[in-house]
């Protein structure tokens, strides 16, 4: 049995959750409360760096979401989530890396604001939106008119970037100026795996309330 240790609101674990669903695999989920459960000895034996996601498959434990995605795709090859052509593979890997190394850091002030971790000033928000725009322009050009970044099939690029763009309406990023990305992101939102993993407004509100309580306890 496959077990995914995760937190439903985590962008890093949602890409793995979506992969398991897109592959149609049997798996169970274990929710880890990041308010401290990640430091408990039983979790640290799974991941000494105290991060989710973790995937356990029988005797094997895999940490780091990109490593988990590669493992799932190699071990459970149908449907494949990586393209065959070298140039397509390079594009998929670029999208994965640009998402975590460029887009997510650029989005940080917007996600912090949405989650209630303080109120960045208007200038910080404007700068963040400007930086995000630069990344989106790059991605728009890489996607072009193709249905998916790797060609005509869903790939890891969709799982990694598409679970981030799913947050855009909530954090105030408009895909209107990027029509290719907009139709691509909309098509992903309609997929069963995205709908089943989409955080509900109630879950987001409960998370914000927990964070506010923890911050108040620290003061």
Residue 197 within binding range of ligand GSH, rule CB under 6 A: no
Place of tokens 């393209």: 83
SS3 content of the chain, % helix, strand, coil (to 5): 60, 10, 30
Give CA–CA dist 148/201, Å, rounded. 28
CB of 81 to ligand GSH, least distance (A): 16
CB of 186 to ligand GSH, least distance (A): 25
Give CA–CA dist 193/125, Å, rounded. 31
CB of 104 to ligand GSH, least distance (A): 10
Choice between 50 and 146, CB closer to ligand GSH: 50
The residue from 3, 21, 29, 50 that contacts ligand GSH (CB under 6 A) is 50
Residue 52 within binding range of ligand GSH, rule CB under 6 A: yes
Work out the widest C-alpha separation in the chain, in whole angstroms.
54
The residue from 34, 89, 124, 125 that contacts ligand GSH (CB under 6 A) is 34
The footprint of ligand GSH on residues 62-121 (CB under 6 A) is 64-65
The residue from 14, 23, 51, 93 that contacts ligand GSH (CB under 6 A) is 51
The residue from 2, 18, 38, 155 that contacts ligand GSH (CB under 6 A) is 38
Residue 163 within binding range of ligand GSH, rule CB under 6 A: no
Counting residues that bind ligand GSH (by CB under 6 A) gives 10
Choice between 92 and 175, CB closer to ligand GSH: 92
Give CA–CA dist 149/82, Å, rounded. 10
Residue 12 within binding range of ligand GSH, rule CB under 6 A: yes
144-153 CB contacts, 8 Å cutoff, 24+ apart: 144/180, 145/180, 147/184, 147/187, 148/184, 149/88, 149/91, 149/92, 149/95, 150/82, 150/83, 150/88, 150/89, 150/91, 150/92, 151/83, 151/85, 151/88, 153/79, 153/80, 153/83
Q: Burial-class residue 147 by CB neighbours within 10 Å (0-12, 13-18, 19+).
A: middle
Choice between 12 and 165, CB closer to ligand GSH: 12
Asked if 13 and 6 count as a contact pair (C-beta separation under 8 A), the reply is yes
Choice between 12 and 155, CB closer to ligand GSH: 12
Choice between 12 and 197, CB closer to ligand GSH: 12
Which residues are near ligand GSH by CB under 6 A? Answer: 10, 12, 34, 38, 50-53, 64-65
């Amino acid at each position: 049995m496959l077990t995914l240790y995760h937190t439903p609101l985590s962008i890093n674990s949602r890409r793995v959750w979506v992969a398991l669903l897109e592959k149609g695999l049997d798996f169970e989920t274990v929710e880890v409360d990041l308010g401290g459960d990640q430091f408990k000895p039983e979790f640290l034996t799974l991941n000494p760096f105290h991060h989710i996601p973790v995937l356990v498959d029988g005797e094997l434990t895999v940490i780091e979401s990109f490593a988990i995605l590669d493992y799932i795709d190699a071990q459970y090859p149908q449907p494949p989530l990586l393209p065959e052509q070298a140039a397509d593979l390079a594009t998929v890997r670029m999208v994965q890396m640009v998402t975590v190394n460029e887009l997510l850091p650029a989005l940080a002030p917007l996600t912090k604001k949405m989650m209630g971790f303080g109120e960045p000033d208007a200038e910080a928000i404007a700068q963040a939106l400007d930086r995000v725009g630069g990344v989106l322009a790059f991605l728009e050009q890489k996607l072009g008119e193709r249905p998916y970044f790797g060609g005509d099939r869903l790939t890891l690029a969709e799982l990694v970037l598409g679970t981030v763009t799913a947050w855009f309406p909530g954090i105030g990023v408009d895909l209107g100026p990027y029509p290719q990305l907009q139709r691509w992101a909309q098509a992903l939102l309609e997929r069963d795996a995205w709908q089943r993993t989409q955080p509900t407004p109630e879950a987001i509100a409960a998370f914000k309330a927990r964070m506010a309580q923890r911050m108040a306890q620290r003061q």
